[in-house]
Amino acid sequence: MARPSRPLLSRERIVAAALALVDAEGLDAVSTRRLAAELGVAGPSLYNHLATKDELLDAVVDAVLGEVDLSMFTGGPDWRGALESWARSYRAALAAHPRVVPALSQGMGRRPNALRLADAVFGGLVAAGWPRREATRVGALMRYFITGSSLGSFAGGFPDDAAVYQGDYPNLGEAHLLAARQREIDESAFEAGLTALLDGLELRLASLRIR
Amino acid sequence: MARPSRPLLSRERIVAAALALVDAEGLDAVSTRRLAAELGVAGPSLYNHLATKDELLDAVVDAVLGEVDLSMFTGGPDWRGALESWARSYRAALAAHPRVVPALSQGMGRRPNALRLADAVFGGLVAAGWPRREATRVGALMRYFITGSSLGSFAGGFPDDAAVYQGDYPNLGEAHLLAARQREIDESAFEAGLTALLDGLELRLASLRIR
DNA sequence: ACCTGAACACCGTTCAAGT
DNA sequence: ACCTGAACACCGTTCAAGT
């Protein structure tokens, strides 16, 4: 075929197809040949638009981060409310693409949406009265909690089979029931943690102000 | 060579070599051929001891979890102190093997050390007076925070290059300085989050008791 | 500029053959 | 039981050749 008059591919189309493939079949299913086939093209064609597979996965992660709502950080004084709804939006974006989460470990690099996110959170906290150093910490620790809550299900991790727990694990006698209530447990654990974290941060800000 | 009189390999030796290889060069460096070479053996030999590469990575993760101290959950009433030192030990184990963390996403499966960990935390919380349902949530949310704080550095994720932030990110004017203070920032964010979480959980337990 | 087939140096895994 | 070489169906990436 050689060069077509109108390009068959674009970076965006490749990234969108890759995200769909990760969602459907997981990170391991994304090979350059497989992805190219999905796009109706030969394997090496992708290299006209992306330098490496790593760059592709980076772009996929960034696309997911682009779904996070940041509009709540517009300088109001209610940092708690902003952090809370941001955390839910962030988690929802990751929960919509759970198989992408392990790829988050690469750090934010130069991904524009990752940086936009960090910028908004930091700016919002500082505008609401948090000292800059502390705002950095709060941004980090919120990210820890949110990404951790998306890195694989807690409840879903327990095998469904009562025999696994016999004998060795005295406190896990009912653990085989967890998988069935997976969504409810993960959700309520996230909400409980979010509330605890925000309550704790209110105490922290108050004690910073006294000193 | 065929079968040697004394086995050359054992599951443990393979897992230990794999962990060392992940630590040194990352998850991607672990191929069956490469790992076998490291062990002085041909590639397919590994399959006499492990069914698949996935099973190998599972065992590597479990070996790391085996380094987490659980001795603090021995039934005392000080759940806060126990949770705090457990969280530090857990984080230290993951921080010692940061490149293993993305593999944690597979859930706990049948990994004995993962189950032992869940068992100890849940048992300790129940013994200290937490209702069983709540203890499940607390175990989950603590895991979220700890694994999230180990899934890649926050501070280290920011490029070292001031030019990256020019213009687009009004609040990240000093973000290029973060990488240099990476360890300090990640550490203090973890400690700040841990304190906030535990403060928040104290409030939560108190409010459960009132109702 | 953008797509292609061929090629290189790899993968995970299976299996018959050896002791 | 445990190790081997050969083989299968894959990988990511490069590159010269085509338009």
Q: pLDDT digit string (tens) for B128-172? A: 999 999 999 999 999 999 999 998 889 999 999 999 999 899 999
Query: Looking at this protein, which amino acid is placed at residue A12?
Result: E
**Which residue gives the smallest C-alpha to C1' distance to D17?**
A2
Contact B155, B178 (CB under 8 A): yes
Q: Is A49 an 8 Å CB contact of chain B?
A: no
Contact B86, B65 (CB under 8 A): no
Residue A4 forms part of a structural domain: no
Q: How far, CA to CA in Å, does B172 sit from each of A115, B52, B159?
A: 8, 45, 11
Quick one: what percent of chain A has pLDDT higher than 70? 99
CATH number at residue B17: 1.10.10.60
| Whether residue A120 is found in the same domain as residue A42 | no
Q: Which chain A residues in 17-76 sit with Cβ < 7 A of strand D? A: 30-34, 43-44, 47, 51-54
Residue A125 forms part of a structural domain: yes
Which pLDDT score, from 0 to 100, does residue B1 have? 66
When CB atoms are compared, the residue of B122, B134, B199 closest to A203 is: B199
**Which residue gives the smallest C-alpha to C1' distance to D11?**
A31
Q: Last residue of some domain: A63, A79, A96?
A: A63
* Three-state secondary structure readout of A97-115: CHHHHHHHHHCCCCCHHHH
Contact A190, A151 (CB under 8 A): no
Which pLDDT score, from 0 to 100, does residue B77 have? 94
pLDDT band of B106, cuts 50, 70, 90: confident
When CB atoms are compared, the residue of B159, B185, B198 closest to A140 is: B185
| Whether residue B96 is found in the same domain as residue B190 | yes
| Whether residue A54 is found in the same domain as residue A109 | no
Residue B55 forms part of a structural domain: yes
Mean pLDDT taken over chain A: 95
Which residue range is the domain that position B46 belongs to?
A: 11-63
Residue B1 forms part of a structural domain: no
Mean pLDDT taken over chain B: 95
Task: Give the mutation candidate from A91, A110, A125, A144 for the B interface (greatest B CB count, under 10 A).
Answer: A144
Contact B157 A109 (CB under 8 A): yes
| Whether residue B32 is found in the same domain as residue B108 | no
Contact B168 A126 (CB under 8 A): no
A71-79 CB contacts, 8 Å cutoff, 24+ apart:
A72/A124, A73/A120, A73/A121, A73/A123, A73/A124, A73/A127, A74/A124, A75/A123, A75/A124, A75/A127, A75/A128, A76/A127, A76/A128, A77/A128, A77/A129, A78/A128, A79/A124, A79/A125, A79/A128, A79/A129, A79/A130
| Whether residue B151 is found in the same domain as residue B206 | yes
| Whether residue B50 is found in the same domain as residue B89 | no
pLDDT tens by residue, A98-149: 999 989 887 667 899 999 999 999 999 999 999 999 999 999 999 999 999 9
Higher-pLDDT residue of A201, A1? A201
Higher-pLDDT residue of A3, A174? A174
| Whether residue A144 is found in the same domain as residue A76 | yes
| Whether residue A37 is found in the same domain as residue A112 | no
The CA-based angle A110-B23-B33, given to 5 degrees, is: 105
Contact A104, A61 (CB under 8 A): yes
CATH number at residue B190: 1.10.357.10
Which pLDDT score, from 0 to 100, does residue A106 have? 74
| Whether residue B119 is found in the same domain as residue B52 | no
Q: Is A27 an 8 Å CB contact of chain B?
A: no
**Which residue gives the smallest C-alpha to C1' distance to C18?**
B2
In residues, how long is chain B?
A: 211
| Whether residue B87 is found in the same domain as residue B177 | yes
Whole-number Å distance between alpha carbons of A170 and A154: 19
Which pLDDT score, from 0 to 100, does residue B124 have? 98
Burial of A14 by CB count in 10 Å (0-12 exposed, 13-18 middle, 19+ buried)?
buried
* B48's tokens: 């006499």
When CB atoms are compared, the residue of A105, A119, A148 closest to B170 is: A119
| Whether residue B26 is found in the same domain as residue B97 | no
Work out the average pLDDT over B98-125.
Answer: 91
Which pLDDT score, from 0 to 100, does residue A2 have? 75
* A109's tokens: 């690099």
Whole-number Å distance between alpha carbons of B114 and B20: 20
Task: Give the mutation candidate from A53, A65, A105 for the B interface (greatest B CB count, under 10 A).
Answer: A105
Residue B165 forms part of a structural domain: yes
- The DSSP output letter for B171 is T
Residue B115 forms part of a structural domain: yes
């948090």: which residue's tokens?
A130
| Whether residue B44 is found in the same domain as residue B127 | no
The gap from C-alpha A162 to its chain's centroid, in whole angstroms, comes to: 32
Contact B154 A175 (CB under 8 A): no
Contact A190 B155 (CB under 8 A): no
Task: Give the mutation candidate from A31, A145, A168 for the B interface (greatest B CB count, under 10 A).
Answer: A145
> Which residues of chain B neighbour A200 with C-beta distances below 8 Å?
195-200
How many Å from the CA of A5 to C1' of D17?
Answer: 18
- Number of domains, chain A: 2
pTM check: above 0.75: yes
* Three-state secondary structure readout of chain A: CCCCCCCCCCHHHHHHHHHHHHHHHCHHHCCHHHHHHHCCCCHHHHHHCCCCHHHHHHHHHHHHHCCCCCCCCCCCCCHHHHHHHHHHHHHHHHHCCHHHHHHHHHCCCCCHHHHHHHHHHHHHHHHCCCCHHHHHHHHHHHHHHHHHHHCCCCHHHCCCCHHHHCCCCCCCCCHHHCHHHHHHHHHHHHHHHHHHHHHHHHHHHHHHHHC
Burial of B167 by CB count in 10 Å (0-12 exposed, 13-18 middle, 19+ buried)?
exposed
Cβ–Cβ pairs < 8 A, chains A and B: 217
Over the range B2-32, which residues count as b (16 or more CB within 10 Å of their CB) and which as e? eeeeeeebeeeebbebbbebbbeeebeebeb
Task: For B157, name the nearest residue in chain A, comparing CA atoms only.
Answer: A107
pLDDT band of A1, cuts 50, 70, 90: low
């952090």: which residue's tokens?
A83
pLDDT tens by residue, A149-161: 998 889 999 999 9
Residue B29 forms part of a structural domain: yes
Q: Is A147 an 8 Å CB contact of chain B?
A: yes
Residue A171 forms part of a structural domain: yes
Q: How far is A24 from chain B (nearest CA, A)?
A: 16
**Which residue gives the smallest C-alpha to C1' distance to C3?**
A2
Which pLDDT score, from 0 to 100, does residue A172 have? 97
